[in-house]
Structure 1
Amino acid sequence: MTDPARWVSQRLGVGLRTTASPVGLDLADLVGLAVRRNPRRAHLLVSRVLGKHVPTDPRVVRGAGLLLGDLVRAELTGGPHPEARAAALRAALADPGAEGGDPVGLGLDGVVAAEPVPAVVLGYAETATALGQQVAEALGAPVLHSTRRSVPGITAVGGFEEEHSHATSHLLLPADPQLLSSEDMLVLVDDELSTGRTALNTIATLHARHARSRYVIAALVDLRSTEDRARMAQVARELGTRIDVLALAAGTVLLPDDLAERAAALVAELGDAPAPAATTSVAAVHRVALPWPAGLPESARHGWDPADDDRRAAAVERAASALAGPLGDARRVLVLGTEELLDVPQRLAAALAGARTVRFSSTTRSPVLPVDDEGYAIRTALRFDAHDEPDDGPGPRYAYNVLGGGFDAVVVVLDERADTAAADGLVAALGTAAPLVVVASLPDAAARVARARSVPAVLRGPAFGSYAPDEVAWLLTDLSDVALEAPVEEREEAIQSGGAHYAESLPVEYQPSAAYAALFEAALADAAERVALAVGVVTERALAARGTDLTLVSLARAGTPVGILMRRWAQQRHGLDLAHYAVSIVRGRGVDHLALRHVAARHAPESVLFVDGWTGKGAIARELAAALVEHRAATGVDFPPELAVLADPGHCVDLYGTRDDFLIPSACLNSTVSGLVSRTVLNRAILRDDQFHGAKFYAELASADVSNRFLDAVSDRFPAVQEAVDATPAAPDEAPDWRGWAAVERVSREQGIGDVNLVKPGVGETTRVLLRRVPWKVLVASDAAPADLVHIRHLAAERGVPVEAVPDLPYSCMGLIHPAYTAGATGAAGTAVRTVTA
């Protein structure tokens, strides 16, 4: 084996001396030497087992990391020394040309057989991100790696400096801010321990936040001087803690006193390496969006939970299979990670190894002098511009020992934040080294998961609402103790004058009279089977159109009982246990994006089906579609804009149970038929940006609550309507034509209102007008079924609202809100003038 430190030793007088190794390795087994283009630190140790600068068998890379983790495990638990893996690694390094299968027996399958070690692992960007995950894997412990990429919406819990590095600032961005504050042991992982200052800076930062009695530093090589070791011991005494260091090999780098001057002269003498000649006139480029589960991080940038290890293993296998076609007959393949994105690309490389010869390495920020000599660690260099929106701005990036590697194909793995137009420079550079470049992209799932995990906890009954805890998770902020109610007339005036948005306050809850309560009971008895039929039809249509992997997201609050009923139908009829969330949507303000982040972190976005009670003129369907476009632009998460409703009299959606405009009993009341939950509130004077939209839980109305009686009355009728549901076509009979919207515009003109928002069509919307707003009049269709309008006429009579029968109305009825202000009428100061109406 050629000594990869020979050239630097001869030209600069730098040498390596091994002093100890618990696994029988020499420093020269683990590292070679190169020259940096960095005045702070002239030499570079080039690891032979890290896979960062030198293309390496990915199984050797993983084996070395797991061996380091085994040493930590043995130290912390008093367990056996990992002699078998140590012997396998020694054999692999002695014969680096061995290829195919797992010839060196590194035992990469079934890594963790013992109990998890109570520890938290912190790996360092950029070199030790995957190494930290390998150590954590051996321990069965959670892991976080530092990062140099800030992420909007995620607050750093700390940072520190790497004093000798070309890129010094590290951020700590855990999704769980308490991750680094647990009582478990903290294990710091780096590829090399040169002076120990970076580790000490980290310990000082974290110890000030949460003191620990012991820290462990694990590195592939430990090159601290006697003075460095004394400094670490002194810091441990000052902090009142213990700091232990473990490494595969320890030793010393012998440096001449004039190294910096000699290295600068050498760099000036050799200059830049000549531009490499292309291996082909035009390299073939294939792009592959790797399949990756929603909610599964692709890195530990924001933390990694060992409970996700099995999901990651399965995801890597699927992703490797997706690369088989684009790679074709390529026999010698390089999988190239990008800066901090190392762990998953490395696992992909290991999954591809066997039938092909596969090597792994990564792009890097480190500027190294290439020298084409077999006794030098870095023989060729590719240079290109940064492409991952780095915080420290654009700059050169490098890929070493790729050119001249004899690769048939290079697979470069990017996350979506790095897969930008600027990455074309990287792809073009790689095209000079291989005839085929496969650009494999991963979602930036880690950031999405981190943002979602930072959102508030969900609310469930009985602590919030009267529904059972398994029937719905409310993604809302509990505002039960906040005074939000205002008299109906006062709210109406503020809303129509533009002084307030309707979602900033709540109407006073309507308390039904004994006569109206009896009317509800009669309506429930009469309509329960009709509602059950609509529930069955819309649920079966949704399952037929979207499959059984559905996540129900109801629009609070009218959609929530419908979502629960759909969930019950799917459970009783098909044995499905569908997740169900309730989220807020506000006309003119959109959907609660924080709530959608929560859902996307836990479920595939494509599985989401939004649910509402009914359509009026279709305003909420339009609001939802526009909000989801906005959400996709902001987060990259694409939710289907489909809305399922019980009744679609407005002809606005594809998934519905019926298009009849009939009385749905849940529309008769407010919170007492909706889990004792208010309409949702979006008031930024009360709610922070990091809180869900709000709502109140009216626990004091429990004696009048009929929410679960309504649900049970409907679901009890499921068996009775099963045949009718089966006889209903799975596909709707006609496409949406939005005829309801046209009718609303016509009525608005004919009634002289001039604002379609003051026209509320359908039985459900008319009920809301009579319960919550200042009604002007109610229009009823001349041919409407009298039974569907009994409660409408009752409420209108209670409030003294005229009811007018009109022909050619596509709804059973329409509620018109009192036009309290005349459009365009202003006083001398430009304020709206009240129009007095009889």
Structure 2
Amino acid sequence: MWSGSWVAERLGVSLVGDEGLQELLGLALRRNPKRAHLLVSNVLGKHVPQQPLVVWRAGHDLGLRVRDLLGADECRRAVVLGYAETATGLGHSVADGIGLAPYLHSTRRPVEGVATAGGFEESHSHATSHLLLPEDPDLLGGPGPLVLVDDEFSTGNTVLNTIRDLHARYPRERYVVVALVDMRSAADMGRLDAFAEEIGARVDLVAMASGTVRLPDGVLEKGQALVAAHQQAPPDAGVTPVTAGAGAPRHTRVDLEWPAGVPDGGRHGFTPEHRTALEAALPGMAARISDALRSVPAGRDTGGTRRVLVLGNEELMYAPLRLAAALQQNTHAGTAHDAPAETVCAQARTEVYYSTTTRSPVLAVDDPGYAIRTRLVFPAHDDPADGPGERYAYNVAGAGFDAVVAVVDSTADTDRLHAPDGLLAQLAAHTGHVVLAVVPSYVPALPGHAPDHHAPEGPERPSMLPQPLRGPDFSSYAPEEVGWLLQDLSEVELEAPTEEREEAIQSGGAHYAESLPVEYQPDEQYQQLFEAALTASAARIARAVGTVTDTVLAERTPRPVLVSLARAGTPVGVLMRRWAQHRHGLDLPHYAVSIVRGRGIDANALRWLAENHDPADVVFVDGWTGKGAITRELAEALRDFPGFDPEIAVLADPGGCVRTYGTREDFLIPSACLNSTVSGLISRTVLRADLVGPDDFHGAKFYRELAGSDVSGHFLDTVAARFDEVMPAVDADVKELLSADRTPTWEGWGAVERISEEYGIHDVNLVKPGVGETTRVLLRRVPWKILAGRGAGADLDHVRLLAEQRGVPVEEVDELPYSCVGLIHPKYTRGATGADGRAVAK
């Protein structure tokens, strides 16, 4: 029976394509606002246990086809890049088939001390942020072909976004996209050629099979209803746990004697030399696993044949795969590496299977026509960057395995792995014996293979960094209010029309930080709205300022050094400094630094801070969180700078991204209504290679000519005037917060992913949640539409006015976790106009 028939019969979904496509793919269901069905591969080794040589050969044979396509000379110059987590093992196997190319896979696990060579977002995924952490900083910089490997090529959004990002950093002439299945719709077929022409490079596609998924009308709603109905029942209903004897050990640990110097995978790069060393060690490691399994009896229902599963762990797919294949071969001495799988293990009557755990939540239905029949649920045990959460092992329970060999890396060998509800205990409940094999987590021998300007200053190199800029020479703030760790670019022409900037940013031709938008100057009506908003919200802001400041003083340090993220964080930093001085008599230092999404924080500013203050006292300050992109950016950037605490203190945290905040309500902070005229007349920050050298701070402009419109001091004074009246409320808020569970929920990020999919944007960077971010969209970008929470009141008056002035529709929606969300269309083309003459997206 086809493992997609259950879904097909109930939803009317069908696969159409190459012969044998249904043998490669099954169907399952998941809760997803864009696509309820899930294609489940039978040869990937992720969700469905499969013979390891079948899994390895699927990738290896694709690699052979790439080698034939490129030729030997180009293969020697090529680099293979696989996607975390699903395709890490597949990409590695493709590299095996090519034979001459080094391999790197993206990762969702930051590694302390290892510099980031790039990153990108996978907007449709449940866990989106990918990092590239090669040990060799020049690995991606060569001119040879880049081979990108994913399990499925459907819309192509993730792969094309990756190429666009990497091409801007490391341009090259040729790319090859490799996938098990090419499932593009007819509408998506032409995108690859158009994209290649756009970037001026050749892009080839190699796939094992191709086809499409036919979806009837209403399939999304029907799929969501099916998921909701079947989630009422326990996913493992009908599976009887195995009961171990009294006093029986929960698992056996085996020492693999992993070869020294060989990485556990491609997280930091894996060379052909590494492959040679691993293959020489595999027979011995497989023999040690066999010894640990020797006492495992065959199951009663398997005719005397033992069934053994080798279970990898999320991104750790290749090492378990090769161990499983070696174990499969080791039970039949003398079997050739490429022998038919059915002849392997014949003498020992042992069947070896392979799969891995995953962070992807999928509905389980115990039916032979459904691809995911059972699932085990357990806590994450590798200290993931996105915090604790659930992980899953599919089709393990009830599959009749006599033993499971769980392979993890040493980073994942934690207390949570061994906990009563951890993976090992879950496995022990469903098999007779569990063997734990731990592969040492590889960390580059020389951490911080970053350029010199990313590393902290050593004592042997005297600092060449300038002192902070201060008002009135730079900004309209008083000199004691803030020191700007920036360079003055006031005399440089950096402004560009909004439409021109948008087109350049979205085409990959320029980063948003390389230019500035033309400063928006409000008309009288808008200025009146600002004044009304300030009057109405001053006490509310004062309360949030007091709450976040007193939380910092109580939890972080009694003498904080406030470092605001320019520019939205700077008014908040000034207000926090004023609160500390007014209520506690503290004269806190306050600086403003630049942080740029995709480029990181100003490393020279951090050096200056480390030279002049204790990094442990530094508290980073921002205005609000949207989806949390800057929160993640800061945490990643500070891995190269030990001693600094990456936790941001914010006035408002509607995205649920931080622990230190004044409020989690999404309300209008009037400083978001304007640009420089409420931020000390300072522009947003600029990072451009021809303007910012290795010993320079990032840059910004001081708009002295706008002094007549400046309300920066007025905003601060109006809020500070309400400090005394809100102190009792602040005391109550802080007391409650200090005893509350403030673990970040990242609710905002989930909402952004949902909105990105529902509106067909497929890029979370173009979804700007919250009042502040929506205002920025209307002031600086080319907005497509505004989503407003149904019934939102005066907090959105200025948003509605700006939208009306720019001809942008405002759509009221239900169940929005923010007051509003601004959407930027991902395909904006300057010069195209609609019937009303306004610019439109194409």
What is the TM-score of this pair, normalised by structure 2?
Answer: 0.48
What is the TM-score of this pair, normalised by structure 1?
Answer: 0.48
